[in-house]
Structure 1
């Protein structure tokens, strides 16, 4: 194929997202396996020997790369949201992420199965997605809020992901309702926290934040 000739100096890091994009339709049938890599390499015109080197750590590295690919794709679509309220930006970003993956639900389901075997990687992946969303929404916090925002949004994203995978409602309407309720609960919590900590210098613990995610207002 011409791609091999056109990109002779492409690094493995540059090849990785291209290979992942080509793998998506194959993963639904062959999983995150060498078979999907080989089929994708043929589709994308990537030298099979090079493709074999792209994911030396196997399926876990593949799903990690898929998350990075999906983050980049989502971020590219989040332009022109600066006039929205923060709550609207976050909801739009999360919804965009899932709408982009609508035709990839089986691929995502298989990725979740791999993440279940690698909890540390799953946590890292969720954090990176939350970070990508906050950055796309214009967040510039560098203090405690930087971490608390990502911890909270990571919980919202993970819960919504599981709901979306099982949602069979028209146009995933139930998922968007679930997402809106989660975000409403977080905004209510943030307002309460602001009142309680105003002038006191006290900050909520991570345990408190995660507890609020476990028992959201609905």
Structure 2
């Protein structure tokens, strides 16, 4: 059996302490001691302490979700159902709600809010990539921003849901996705309008492109290149 990665060893050891001490320096210290990882190496792996520990837990969940989605046959599902399945899978893989609840509290602090935003954006990006999204324009951003809102709201509902099998959460998720689909339908009708096609008010977004390398938050704006001869 391969030796466990030291970062994973520390994270695994931390999970038993988080429900009592939260994502904190106390948890990290206890996890380092239990894992047997050298303290110097541990601090190199988690240079920002508890923030890096909490982000490692979140990213582990994202990676597990992507792995499970790759194994699943989603071909018979409508696309909206694939998204719902991915969000549901991500929450089910989280395991102990208290770990997520502690993380939500941690990332709600002003000093950690940016990292919390990155975490949710990263989950939305992971879902879209796993489902085969190839958008490279402003849609890259709008898809992830919309799904981030759906995911964030669903997490908060899920944390307070005590219905059997979290049925109320999955109903809530379906309603949020239905709201998004209505918006997308309205956007499509707007784009197909003859007047809109003629005036093309969306041309101001023509230079927006997705980041060339995967990142936690939106990338940049690239000025449109002038057309070459023959185009």
- Equivalent residue number for residue 154 of structure 2: 160
Q: Aligned equivalents of 2:107 and 2:24: distance in 1?
A: 14
C-alpha change, 1:78 and 1:18, in structure 2 (3 Å) is: farther
* Alpha-carbon shift at residue 26 of structure 1 (Å): 2.0
* Alpha-carbon shift at residue 120 of structure 1 (Å): 1.5
Q: Aligned equivalents of 1:67 and 1:163: distance in 2?
A: 18
Q: Aligned equivalents of 2:73 and 2:148: distance in 1?
A: 20
- Equivalent residue number for residue 117 of structure 2: 123
Structure 1 position 46 matched with structure 2 position 40 = no
**Larger helix fraction of residues:** 1
Q: Aligned equivalents of 2:58 and 2:169: distance in 1?
A: 20
* Alpha-carbon shift at residue 124 of structure 1 (Å): 1.4
Structure 1 position 100 matched with structure 2 position 93 = yes
The alignment's TM-score, normalised by the length of structure 1, stands at: 0.80
* Alpha-carbon shift at residue 25 of structure 1 (Å): 2.4
* Alpha-carbon shift at residue 177 of structure 1 (Å): 0.4
Contact persistence 1:59–1:114 (CA under 8 A):
no
Runs of 4+ in 1 over 6 A off after TM superposition: none
Contact persistence 2:28–2:50 (CA under 8 A):
no
- Equivalent residue number for residue 213 of structure 1: none
Q: Aligned equivalents of 1:131 and 1:42: distance in 2?
A: 34
- Structure 2: stretches of 5+ with no match in the other structure: 205-231
Flag the structure with larger Rg.
2
- Equivalent residue number for residue 141 of structure 1: 135
- Structure 1: stretches of 5+ with no match in the other structure: 8-13, 206-218
Q: Deviations over 1:49-82 (max 9, x none)?
A: 4224322212222222221111111111112344
In terms of mean alpha carbon deviation, does 42-51 or 62-71 score higher? Answer: 42-51
In terms of mean alpha carbon deviation, does 82-91 or 41-50 score higher? Answer: 41-50
Q: Deviations over 1:163-187 (max 9, x none)?
A: 0111111111110000000001111
Contact persistence 2:18–2:27 (CA under 8 A):
yes
Contact persistence 1:91–1:179 (CA under 8 A):
yes
- Equivalent residue number for residue 75 of structure 1: 66
1:1-218 pair list within 5 angstroms: 6=3, 15-79=6-70, 80-83=72-75, 84-101=77-94, 103-117=95-109, 118-198=112-192, 200=197, 201-203=200-202
